[in-house]
């Protein structure tokens, strides 16, 4: 499931969507010029694509894409470090609470200074007076990782709003008639009468094409736009689900850590540890996937 949610094709589709919008302003200028000439000829035009709104969306989405490009490797590194610290601590903690003669002792007797994570550069001035301090610090690190995942998801949310709003309305507007005087759709008129082509379609409107060929291109390209909309919507949904699952599993690990208290016996702690490690194993797999995906950026 996770491989599908974080598949490379999701990021590739988002990039294609952003690239298309970035290439659209020049085409919109040509569309407006063509529409103005048709209007001057006496035709009553139906509303044309909202060029200003599309340009604003293109700029906003390009910014969101840049932020995703920064967030993915950063989040991958943060998650990997948090998991390394937490996982290393849990292994050492497991070894201590598994000693048979210690099973009735409270975990408060454990000397926190023996844990490797406290010697790491990243530990800094975090409290470490007892084992509960250490658990609290690891809890806080998992929470910071959650916040970073949520911030990453917010960039996806920004893209999703434009995809389901302005972008789909733009595509649908191209299928409507150009004017009240005939059934020809806007995109067919742009391709056949205006010699205008949509960006990133591998089509040169300046080349010599028959009217039938231009109509065929227009219909094929509108189909490709609808398909791009569908794939982009799926990509954002998949990545959003990935983030949701990631936050959920981190929350499971946090809750399991929070069950430990100073008077808890080591045998009880040993029994509850699999709840933490099980959640973190899945988070670790997700983190590794994201680190690999960061190579795209």
pLDDT, tens digit, 9 for 90 and up, residues 260-276 = 999 999 999 999 888 88
pLDDT, tens digit, 9 for 90 and up, residues 150-162 = 988 988 888 888 8
Which band of pLDDT confidence, cut at 50, 70 and 90, is reported for residue 165? confident
| Size of the chain, expressed as the number of residues it contains | 297
Range of the domain at 168: 2-296
Q: What is the mean pLDDT of residues 242-252?
A: 91
Average pLDDT, whole number, for the chain?
Answer: 89
Residue 1 has pLDDT above 60, yes or no: no
The whole-number pLDDT of residue 230 equals 95
The whole-number pLDDT of residue 99 equals 93
Residue of higher predicted confidence among 282 and 116: 116
CA angle 181, 183, 188 (to 5 degrees): 110
Residue 126, helix vs strand vs coil: coil
Cα 14 to Cα 238: distance, rounded to the nearest angstrom: 12
Side-chain-side CA neighbours of 6 within 13 Å: the count stands at 21
Residue 122 has pLDDT above 90, yes or no: no
Per-residue CA distances from 49 to 35, 52, 172 (Å) = 10, 9, 9
The DSSP string of 45-67 is BPPPP-HHHHHHHHHHHHHHHHH
The whole-number pLDDT of residue 294 equals 64
The whole-number pLDDT of residue 289 equals 80
Q: What is the mean pLDDT of residues 104-117?
A: 94
Q: Tell me the backbone φ, ψ of residue 91, rounded to 5 degrees.
A: -65, -45
User: Which string of b and e fits 146-168 if b means at least 16 CB within 10 Å?
Assistant: bebbeebbebbebbbbbbeebbb
Residue 172 has pLDDT above 90, yes or no: yes
pLDDT, tens digit, 9 for 90 and up, residues 47-104 = 888 888 899 888 888 888 888 888 888 888 888 889 889 999 999 999 999 998 989 9
Per-residue CA distances from 211 to 116, 174, 189, 205, 214 (Å) = 73, 18, 10, 11, 5
pLDDT, tens digit, 9 for 90 and up, residues 15-29 = 999 999 999 999 999
The whole-number pLDDT of residue 177 equals 93
Cα 291 to Cα 287: distance, rounded to the nearest angstrom: 6
Residue 184, helix vs strand vs coil: coil
Asked whether 185 and 172 are in contact (CB, 8 A), the reply is no
Percent of residues, the chain, with pLDDT higher than 70: 98
Cβ of 47: how many Cβ atoms within 10 Å? 9
As for how many domains the chain has, the answer is 1
The whole-number pLDDT of residue 2 equals 62
The whole-number pLDDT of residue 26 equals 92
The whole-number pLDDT of residue 163 equals 87
Which band of pLDDT confidence, cut at 50, 70 and 90, is reported for residue 144? very high
Residue 126 has pLDDT above 90, yes or no: no
Which band of pLDDT confidence, cut at 50, 70 and 90, is reported for residue 297? low
Nearest by Cα to 110 from 262, 257, 260, 258:
262
Nearest by Cα to 209 from 200, 220, 224:
220
- Strand boundaries in the chain, DSSP class E: none
Q: What is the mean pLDDT of residues 227-250?
A: 92
pTM: 0.85
Percent of residues, the chain, with pLDDT higher than 90: 52
The whole-number pLDDT of residue 65 equals 87
Q: What is the mean pLDDT of residues 101-122?
A: 90
The whole-number pLDDT of residue 134 equals 94
The whole-number pLDDT of residue 296 equals 64
């Amino acid at each position: 499931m996770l491989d599908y949610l974080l598949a490379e094709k999701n990021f590739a589709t988002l990039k294609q969507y952003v690239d298309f919008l970035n290439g659209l302003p020049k085409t919109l200028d040509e569309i407006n010029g063509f529409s103005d000439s048709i209007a001057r000829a006496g035709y009553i035009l139906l509303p044309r694509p909202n060029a200003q709104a599309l340009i604003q969306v293109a700029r906003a989405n390009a910014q969101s894409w840049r932020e995703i490009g920064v967030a993915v490797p950063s989040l991958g590194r943060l998650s990997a470090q948090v998991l390394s610290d937490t996982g290393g601590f849990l292994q050492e903690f497991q070894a201590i609470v598994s000693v048979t003669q210690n099973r009735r002792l409270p975990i408060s007797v454990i000397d926190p200074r023996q844990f490797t994570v406290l010697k790491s550069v990243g530990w800094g001035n975090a409290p470490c007076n007892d084992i509960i301090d250490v658990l609290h610090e690891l809890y806080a690190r998992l929470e910071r990782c959650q916040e970073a995942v949520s911030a990453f998801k917010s960039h996806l949310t920004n893209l999703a709003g434009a995809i389901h709003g302005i972008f789909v309305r733009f595509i649908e507007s191209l299928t409507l008639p150009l004017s009240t005087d005939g059934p020809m759709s806007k995109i067919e008129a742009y391709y056949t009468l205006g010699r205008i082509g949509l960006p990133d379609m591998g089509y040169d409107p300046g080349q010599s094409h028959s009217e039938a060929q231009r109509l065929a291109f227009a219909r094929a390209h509108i189909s490709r736009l609808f398909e791009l909309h569908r794939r982009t919507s799926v990509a954002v949904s998949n990545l959003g689900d990935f983030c949701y699952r990631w936050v959920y599993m981190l929350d499971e690990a946090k809750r399991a850590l929070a069950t430990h208290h100073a008077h808890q016996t080591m045998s009880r702690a040993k029994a509850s540890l699999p709840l933490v490690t099980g959640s973190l194993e899945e988070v670790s797999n997700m983190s590794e996937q994201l680190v690999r995906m960061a190579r795209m950026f």
